[in-house]
Amino acid sequence: MANEEGNRLMFIKLGYNIALGLPVPTTIVYVLRVHPSRTADLVSGENFRIEPSLPVEEYLDGFGNRCGRVNAPAGIIRFTNDAVIRDSGEPDRWIPTEPQNDTTSLPLNTLAFVLPSRYCEVDSELLDFAWSTFGSTPPGWQRIQAICDFVHQHIRFDYMQARANRTALETFRERVGVCRDFTHLAVTLCRCLNFPARYVTGYLGDIGVVPSPDPMDFSAWFEVFLGNQWYAFDARHNARRIGRVPIGRGRDAGDVPITMAFGKHTLEHFQVVTEQVES
């Protein structure tokens, strides 16, 4: 099957099995469904389940993410999902001539993504660093790529050094982290230079690249508003990739928690599947 540009469409199997241990009854908010911008590409919908079966209140948050709230009893609560989604099979768009918007003409709904947020301290030493380091690069796409090159080289990826509360400034100083840390630092540097930049979490499998030896996980990347649309960038891999499927978009990771338990809990099981399959 081919699309209008002659590229072969592909099918990607998505899913997860996540279990939390709750010592007492606990409310959980989750962002675990495919983002509404991609639901039309699902082959037959998502087979999303919660065990034990519990009433769920689903809603769209202020960023357009599909979220849910569940009030769980003490014990093990498990979230599972499996789905197949159509994808163009094309790598991330690459338009190096795309210019930067002046702040006077940015759409109003992008302005929140230029401001500081929980993990992205635009109003910090990173502001002066961004302008002194990248201010002489051509504004627009090339400046964002320079930021990705810097972050990719500056940070050492290490799963064992993951920390849920590490901010962009701390990542800059510590020079270690995981994909969310790469993303937070890149987003912050973009905002320091007046680019609207938003955090994205979702699926990204090893399609078209050498498979990683690490267990599959959700991924984090970011999008920047240039011209009249949002474009995907990835400081962690610093390469055009195939098969990104967003789950949530926000100002930073605090806006798109995979699961947020309002009480003590332990992670009992975590498995993510993202792989190309035959139609």
Q: What are phi and psi of 229, to 5 degrees?
A: -155, 170
Query: What is the residue extent of each domain of the chain?
Result: 10-89+258-277, 103-250
Task: Give the whole-number percent of the chain exceeding pLDDT 70.
Answer: 97
Strands 156-157 and 176-177: what pairing? Answer: parallel
CB 183 within 8 A of CB 235: yes
| Residue entry with tokens 């690069």 | 137
Residue 37 half-sphere exposure toward CB, CA atoms < 13 A: 12
The CATH-assigned architecture of domain 103-250 is: Roll (3.10)
Radius of gyration, alpha carbons of the chain: 19
99 cis-preceded (ω within 30 degrees of 0) = no
Distance CA 183, CA 149 (A): 12
Q: Which two tokens stand for residue 112?
A: 């929140």
pLDDT, tens only, 173-196: 999 999 999 999 999 999 999 999
Which CATH number is correct for 10-89+258-277, 2.60.40.1580, 2.60.420.10, 3.90.1150.10, 2.60.40.2250? 2.60.40.2250
The answer to whether the predicted template modeling score (pTM) of the entire model surpasses 0.85 is yes
Distance CA 226, CA 231 (A): 7
**What is the pLDDT averaged over residues 232-260?**
97
CB 261 within 8 A of CB 115: no
Distance CA 141, CA 192 (A): 15
pLDDT, tens only, 138-173: 999 999 999 999 999 999 999 889 999 999 999 999
Instruction: Walk across the sheet containing 197-203 and list its strands.
Output: 229-233, 219-226, 197-203, 245-250
**What is the pLDDT averaged over residues 224-252?**
97
DSSP 200-223: EEEE----SSPPPSSPP--EEEEE
Q: What are phi and psi of 192, to 5 degrees?
A: -60, -30
pLDDT, tens only, 77-115: 999 999 999 999 999 999 999 999 999 999 999 999 999
pLDDT, tens only, 108-137: 999 999 999 999 999 999 999 999 999 999
With 50 as the cut, is the pLDDT of residue 7 above it?
A: yes
Distance CA 83, CA 12 (A): 8
Q: How confident is the model at residue 6 (pLDDT cuts 50, 70, 90)?
A: very low
